[in-house]
Chain A
Amino acid sequence: MSTDQQEPNPDDFDTIVLGTGLAESIIAASLAKASQKVLHIDPFPTYGGPRHSSLTIPELVAHLPDLENSSYEYPAGSSAAAGGSFQQDVETGSRGRQYAISLYPAILPARGKLIDTLISSGVSGYIGFRVVDGIGLWQPSTSTGAGTSTNRGEEFASDIKKVPSSKGQVFKDKTLSLMEKRKLMKMLMFVANLDETKAIDDALLKDKIDMPFVPYLQQAFDLPLAMARDIAFGIAHCTTGKEPALVTLLRMQRYLRSLSRYSPTSSFLVAQFGGIGEIVQGFCRSCAVYGGTYILGDMARIKSGKQTEEGVEIQIEAQEGALRGKRLIGTDKALKQAGLLDASGDGRGSRRKIEESEPRRSNCVAIVSGLPPMVRSAFSSGRDGAQQTEEQEDEDEVAGNDVLVLVAPPPEDQEKGQEVSRILFMGSGTGSCPEGEYVVYISTPTRIGETNPAKALLDRLFVTPTSTALPTSAHQPGRHGPDQAPCWWGSFERVRVVGRDGPRGRARSGRAGRSGRRDDHQARRGRGWRR
């Protein structure tokens, strides 16, 4: 292609794209494919930028200080850390590079726009995927009790309820009465056959389209509260359970229809080698194949920028002269950094100030050398009940427990619309870590006065079944299972972006006016997870 490309000036571009986040990368790839000359730059050193990259441990450790309320640790006492060499191996040896840790852990429904885009753009050819092997509902609150119970393995395991992934599994479920099973199947059939265009006239939806989801399920299908909540959080993947009925039903329908596209028992996929970060690289690669030029890291730092008659002109560290684009695309934040958008100008910029009071989510990622015992026993395949012998210890991957998801619903008596906590286990089959280990991602709402609640959840997960009390503080020796204790964890906070006006950081075009597209924000709640 390049052979007959006569470039008048190598520093002139049709479009300059600022930032290599997912949205920007998809845009860059599609513009390049449409024969535009694209310059794609990001002052962050890795593809994906500060939000969507996948990083090695050393890279993440270097990046953590830039994130809010961040910390990390190599806890002593875990078997993998024995001898104190783990930290050294990771930070100076080659070991750290064997990890691909996503700043944006997310599972992808097998049917959705992102998957469609990946396939139609050909980018899927660059990327390998894994299916999510199982989803479980976890009620950590019930196991805390007064901290006095003499917990045994089964009790712990029973706190995790595996979400059935097929009709057969629903019928086998011994915890449900026949009546409940009938109601449940009726509900699932309703969702499967729901026709969006006729929804308003549907007897089961009429006047209830915007009703909060959990009460809606109770009312429309006469389901008990517990079951309604299980459906809302385990199948529809609600964040609060109060999302409006119709959009939630339609999303659930998409998840149900995702079943069997790539796996008979799973609706979701993850990209290998670090998830979104890898997907981003795929789009950037595709952009480059169609002639896109890339500058990343310090060399891409923008020194100045201005609008001109022909478009935009920017100065970057990489070179003396200006780079010109007929058009420039980036988020508000990126445009401001480039000096192309007045911090207070244009009315929109000023609106987005991050308030202290804005809802935050606490995130924790840990490297562990095995699944927590209670998770392993809950997902041990082909067995009834929770008991499981230790001989299966290393068989998790074989048993199809490479990628697992736990959802911890908010307390039942929720008044303020509390949010779920989510936990994602990525095993070595995903290419995120060496064999036998897992990367654990935890995301949980931060409530006022709490410090590092995500790390606290991590501690709860890895408490040993035989310990008599639950740990209240971080890693006390002997409280963790000796084999699974985290050998590294890091945590940070993020403001959760929701709102009628659409998410923060909407990608903007330097030229085109606002499209006036209304964000279907409800359908996207819980971003940072499912897309």
Chain B
Amino acid sequence: MSRNAQSFKLVLLGESAVGKSSLVLRFAKDEYSDFRESTIGAAFLTQTLTTDEGRDIKFEIWDTSTTPGYRSLAPIYFRNSAAAVIVYDITQRSQASFAQAKTWVQTLRRQADPSITIILVGNKLDLASSSRGTDRELAEAYAEEEGLLFVEASAKTGENVQEVFMQVAKKLPLAPPPQATSGGGGKPGQKGVKLAPGQASGQQAAQACNC
């Protein structure tokens, strides 16, 4: 696999059908489908990226279904996540998926590690000219206020998709990812034991795309 890539957990959040899975698929496999089914349960896949400085970053991407009524996000979902990608759909009015995105920001503030890198992504940019519903300025101002990274992208055309993950990668700490910080003030990594026989080989699930 990759040489010495530093591994980071990244969670995807956002209302159903905003294009979370589509963004990941575009990023990881450069694939896109207009008929993508709603994610059932959860998905997990990894993708490695090299930053401009030549740093290899391996993302462990946690995607999930947020269909209302089904699925309660467990704390483990946020645990040790170094980054969160919060997605909304720019074709919807700002009261809809953008408002939901703001709720996710609040949830992360409560439950995730304070050092988490958050990027707000307005997806379906390809439809901006015909049916934009949430103003770019509005979202940009909110992101700035909250100290979030921000980008508009299209999973369909691929525009800015790489950019989403590259921006996150640049913000990630050089030190190993936080091990034991959220939910307790543990010393990162110290004496922590990972059971997998070898970091990478133990995570069979990590190699396969399950979405």
Contacts and interface: CB of A to CB of B under 8 A. Distances in A.
A293 B79 contact: no
Interface in B41-95: 41-44, 64, 69-72, 74-77, 79-80
Contacts of A299: 69
Interface string B29-45: 00001001111111110
B185 A435 contact: yes
Interface stretch (B97-105, B141-149, B160-168, B198-206): B198-206
Contacts of B203: 122, 125
A273 interface: yes
Interface string B172-211: 0000000111111111001111111100001111100111
A429 interface: yes
A285 interface: yes
B71 A293 contact: yes
Interface in A232-286: 262-263, 269, 272-273, 278, 281-282, 284-286
Interface stretch (A94-102, A135-143, A195-203, A443-451): A94-102
Interface in A405-453: 427-436
Contact of A434 (B36, B185, B192): B185
B37 A122 contact: no
Contact of B191 (A3, A285, A402, A436): A402
B111 interface: yes
A387 B85 CA distance: 53
Contacts of A128: 80, 179-180, 192-194
Contacts, number: 167
Given A285-B77, A294-B71, A122 B183 contact: no
A429 B180 contact: yes
Nearest to A115: B195
B110 A97 contact: yes
Interface string A2-31: 110100000000000000000000000000
A397 interface: yes
A278 B211 CA distance: 23
A517 to B, nearest CB: 27
Contacts of B69: 295, 299, 318-319
Interface residues of B, number: 48
B64 to A, nearest CB: 7
Contact of A119 (B36, B110, B195): B195
Nearest to B36: A3
A430 B194 contact: no
B179 A126 contact: no
B41 A433 contact: no
A282 B99 CA distance: 30
A437 to B, nearest CB: 9
Contacts of A122: 202-206
A286 B205 contact: yes
A45 interface: yes
Interface of B: 33, 36-44, 64, 69-72, 74-77, 79-80, 110-111, 179-187, 190-197, 202-206, 209-211
Interface of A: 1-3, 5, 32, 45-47, 94, 97-100, 115, 118-119, 122, 124-131, 262-263, 269, 272-273, 278, 281-282, 284-297, 299, 318-319, 397, 400, 402, 427-436
